Amino acid sequence: MTTRPTDSPVVTVTTRLVAMFVLTFALFTLFHGTSSVGGGFQGGVIAAAAVIILAFGVGMERTTAWLSPRWLLALVVAGPLAFVLVAFGGILAGGSFLQFDVLPIPKPSVYATEFVELGIGATVAGVVVSLFVRLSGGVDNE
Amino acid sequence: MITELLVAILLGLVVAAAVVAALARGILTTLAAFGAYSLGLAVVWLVFRAPDVALTEAAVGAGVTTALFLVVVARTIGFGVPQQQRQNSTPSSEFVDGDEATRVGDAGASEGTRLRTAVTGAVRQGRRRSVVVASLVTGGLLLTVPALPVVGAADTPGFGPVTEYYLTDSATRGIDNVVTAILVVYRGFDTFGEIAVVVTAVVAAVAVLNQGEER
């Protein structure tokens, strides 16, 4: 399988180096969704790409050993949860479902959007990593 | 002028990559061409000033999808065909047009040859049929192209009053990226449904992939 550790030190070192920057870029994309290009979907996919790069570089076993299925599940449900919180928060604050500008926080639209984007990013990253791990042979039976 | 030239070159690259992806014999070649296709499209989006879509296309289309395909191929039919076998048997363990990949190399000599010719014939037939279907679909889509508005035409819905509202209102809300504002603030309900679809998809995939795995 391609997910076994490669023999080439070039690949291993490169993936280790690149993965850090990919993750940094993912977090940048996630947190700057309201002010520049990107957002939850893009940031989440790039964060998952960092994990996939590591899996190709250091091998599937070492990568899955470092991933926790429970945390992955928590990541996957984070997006809908964030959305539900914000949506019903709008109702509780006296507005309507998913109304942002009535929330009792400073700059409600910006921070509520950021919150939802972070949830979406967590969900997308969790989904892509779970799919990748499952398709390549599962977490437990390696 | 220079932009049009760039777009023409990029679209040519995209079409070439698509043709290579469809007709390549090796599955690895197909995957590489498919990645190049997505990357070319991502740059096209960038030229058309849609960086959000470009980022998504590059990350999902060129990156993650290719990795998922690689993993699935490695797990199912594999890449491991020795060079010699690959030369004298054309399509052996390759995955073409949904035909079942058969590990021809493992079979006995005479049986292997018979199987090989059968598989080759089936693949040829399937390939011809897919070329016809692909040409028909491409021709049909090309027929609709004259109905599309010119790029940047002022009477398209994209330049209606709602666009003005989005642009001014998102600025007063303090969100500089209008795409994000539309996705979450104005069309939040749609995005909510979208993320529910993503979660449902992974739940279904995990449920299916766990079947038959003794845990």
Looking at the fold, whether B100 and B161 belong to one and the same domain comes out as: no
Nearest-CB residue to A37 (from B177, B184, B192) = B177
Predicted local distance difference test score (pLDDT) of residue B200: 92
Instruction: Domain of residue B122: give its range.
Output: 81-148
Same domain, yes or no, for B15 and B75? yes
Residue of B27, B56, B166, B184 to mutate, testing the A interface (most A Cβ within 10 Å of its Cβ): B184
B60, B5: one domain? yes
Q: Are residues B132 and B198 in the same domain?
A: no
Highest averaged pLDDT of the listed ranges A71-75, B136-140, B182-186: B136-140
DSSP B4-29: HHHHHHHHHHHHHHHHHHHH-SSHHH
In a shared domain, residues B75 and B92: no
pLDDT at B87 over 80: no
Which range has the worst mean pLDDT, B94-98, B124-128, B148-152?
Answer: B94-98
The answer on B8 and B73 residing in a single domain is: yes
Contacts with A14 (C-beta within 8 Å, 6 or more apart), sequence order? A57
Q: How many separate domains does chain B show?
A: 3
Helices A108-135 and B65-76, axial angle in degrees (round to 10): 20
Q: Which of residues B30, B58, B79 is at a domain's end?
A: B79
CA distance B62 to chain A (A): 11
pLDDT above 90: residue B141? yes
Highest averaged pLDDT of the listed ranges B4-13, B94-103, B117-126: B4-13
Per-residue pLDDT, averaged over B92-97, amounts to 42
State the angle between helix axes of A9-31 and A108-135 in degrees (0 to 180), rounded to the nearest 10: 150
User: Residue B71 and residue A135: Cβ atoms within 8 Å?
Assistant: yes
pLDDT, averaged across chain B: 80
The segments of chain A whose pLDDT lies below 70 read 1-6, 138-142
* pLDDT score for B158: 77
- C-beta separation of B124 from B91 below 8 A: no
Residue-wise pLDDT for B57-67, tens only, equals 999 989 899 99
In this prediction, residues B27-50 reach a mean pLDDT of: 92
Give the pLDDT band (50/70/90) at residue B83: very low
User: Do B144 and B161 sit in the same domain of this protein?
Assistant: no
CA distances from A102 to A19, A93, B166, B185 (A): 40, 6, 18, 12
Q: Which of B33, B51, B79 is the last residue of a domain?
A: B79
| Mean of pLDDT values over B74-97 | 53
Do residues B8 and B64 share a domain?
yes
Residues B197 and B186 reside in one and the same domain = yes
Find the largest Cα–Cα distance for chain B. 76
Same domain? For B144 and B90 the reply is yes
Query: Would you say how long chain A is, in residues?
Result: 142
Whether B102 shows a pLDDT value over 70: the answer reads no
The answer to whether the Cβ–Cβ distance between B176 and A35 falls below 8 Å is yes
Q: Which residues of B touch A (CB under 8 A)?
A: 51-52, 55-56, 59-60, 63-64, 67-68, 70-72, 74-75, 79, 173-177, 179-181, 183-185, 188-189, 191-192, 195-196, 198-199, 201-202, 205-206, 209-210, 213, 215
Lowest mean pLDDT among A94-103, B9-18, B43-52, B203-212: B203-212
Question: Of B185, B192, B195, which is closest to A113 when you measure between CB atoms?
Answer: B185
Instruction: Write down the ipTM of this complex.
Output: 0.83
Question: Could you give the C-alpha distances from B142 to B114, B137, B164, in angstroms and in order?
Answer: 42, 9, 32
Task: Choose the final residue of a domain: B122, B148, B174.
Answer: B148
∠ Cα B23 B28 B29 (to 5°):
40
In chain B, residues with a C-beta closer than 8 Å to the C-beta of A22 are none
| B72 and B92 co-located in one domain | no
Task: Note whether A123 contacts B201, CB cutoff 8 Å.
Answer: no
Does residue B204 share a domain with residue B179? yes
What are the residues whose beta carbons fall under 8 Å from the beta carbon of B164, sequence distance 6 or more? none
